[in-house]
């Protein structure tokens, strides 16, 4: 998010009072069916009267679950709520026909809401699956990039060592060290993707992990070859293993930004 906008919204956070006064007003510290205060007593009396005639309608209203998806439905539910409240206030004059009418309208709305909920759930599941598939695709493209570039650099380094007449046994050992380092890098990158959307936590030590892997491989190579300068090949920071040209494709822009953001946290 644009930092300025986020900061603006954060700074506009209103203060909230303690809930103590509210709880006192609700009149109960346990299950809150009972309430206190003149208004609540009047309301309870109205509800009791209503229960004799239109209890079913009053009972159905709270079942309008809050996860209803359509604003128009909600407005209609709000209208019905107002209507039922109106009926509550004049319960003595309510006719069975009025009750039946409200029940029928509520039943029809409930049917619509259930259908909408099912559709919204299906759409939500689709997006979750699509996100997972995209993440998998981005990971695979990222790893392909790392494998390709790392293999090229590794073979170049081994060719250079061979040209320096390093004994065959040491060359084999150097290849083993470099191949293992490549696998470790891949595992670290996979671990990052596996933690997916949780961008607030985790990966705080990504930089240290890359540096630690590089140091381990450099030490091993130094022992085999007697040379210490391996920094150009064994990148020590996450940025060294971030795709570059591949991510110029706009479709991978999010992936690149995610990778750079999370991996650059220290």
Partner 1 sequence: MAAEPPGSTRDDSLVDDARGGLPGSFETLVRRYHAAVYRQIMVWVNGDHAAADDVAQETWWRVARGVKRFEGRSGFYAWACRIAHNESKRWLGRNARKPRLVPKPDEEHPGDQSATGEAVRLALSKLPEKFATPLMLELWEDMSLKEIAHALGLPEGTVKSRLFRAREKFREVWDEMESES
In the complex, the residues that contact partner 1 under the rule CB under 8 A are 1-2, 5-6, 8-17, 19, 22-23, 25-26, 28-33, 35, 40, 59, 61-63, 65-68, 71, 74, 77-78, 81-82, 117, 124-125, 127-128, 130-131, 197-201
If the CB atoms of residues 130 and 223 are measured against partner 1, the closer one turns out to be: 130
Beta carbon nearer to partner 1, 97 or 201: 201
- Our CB check for partner 1 shows the closer of 20 and 165 to be 20
Give which of 2, 78, 85 is closest to 42, Cα–Cα: 85
DSSP assignment letter at 197: T
Instruction: Report in angstroms how near the CB of residue 241 gets to partner 1 at its nearest.
Output: 25
Give the orientation angle of helix 253-263 with respect to helix 168-194, to 10 degrees: 100
Task: For partner 1, give the closer residue by CB, 81 or 151.
Answer: 81
The span from the CA of 178 to the CA of 174, in Å, is 6
Cβ nearer to partner 1, comparing 65 with 228: 65
Give every CB contact of residue 160 below 8 A, 6+ residues apart in sequence.
none
Q: Shortest Cβ distance from residue 56 to partner 1 (Å)?
A: 13
**Tokens representing residue 108 in the block:** 């029809």
Q: Select 41 or 172, whichever has its Cβ closest to partner 1.
A: 41
- The secondary structure of 35-98 as a DSSP string is --SHHHHHHHHHHHHHHHHHHHHHHHGGGS-TT---HHHHHHHHHHHHHHHHHHHTGGG--HHH
| Cα–Cα distance list, 155 to 58, 152, 219 (Å) | 77, 5, 19
Cβ 20 to partner 1 shortest distance, Å = 9
Least distance to partner 1 from the beta carbon of 50, Å?
13
Least separation in angstroms between residue 29's CB and partner 1 is 5
Minimum separation from the CB atom of position 38 to partner 1 (A): 14
């Amino acid at each position: 998010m644009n930092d300025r906008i986020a900061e603006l919204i954060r700074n506009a956070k209103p203060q909230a009072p303690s809930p103590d006064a509210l709880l006192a007003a609700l009149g109960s510290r346990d299950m809150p069916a009972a309430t206190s205060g003149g208004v609540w007593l009047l309301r309870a009396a109205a509800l009791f009267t209503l229960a004799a005639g239109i209890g079913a309608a009053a009972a159905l209203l709270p079942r309008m679950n809050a996860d209803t998806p359509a604003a128009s439905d909600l407005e209609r539910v709000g209208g019905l709520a107002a209507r039922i409240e109106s009926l509550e206030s004049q319960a003595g004059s309510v006719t069975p026909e009025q009750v039946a009418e409200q029940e029928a309208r509520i039943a029809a709305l409930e049917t619509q809401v259930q259908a909408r909920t099912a559709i919204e759930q299906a759409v939500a599941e689709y997006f979750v699956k699509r996100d997972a598939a995209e993440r998998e695709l981005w990971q695979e493209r990222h790893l392909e990039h790392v494998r390709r570039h790392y293999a090229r650099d590794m073979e170049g380094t081994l060719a250079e060592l061979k040209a320096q007449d390093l004994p065959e046994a040491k060359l084999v050992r150097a290849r083993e060290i470099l191949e293992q380092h490549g696998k470790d890098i891949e595992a670290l990158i996979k671990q990052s993707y596996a933690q997916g959307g949780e961008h607030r936590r985790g990966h705080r030590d990504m930089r240290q992990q890359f540096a630690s892997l590089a140091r381990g491989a450099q030490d091993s190579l130094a022992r085999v070859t007697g040379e210490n300068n391996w920094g150009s090949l064994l990148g020590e920071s996450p940025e060294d293993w971030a795709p570059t040209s591949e991510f110029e494709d706009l479709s991978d822009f999010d992936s690149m930004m995610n990778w750079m953001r999370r991996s650059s946290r220290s």
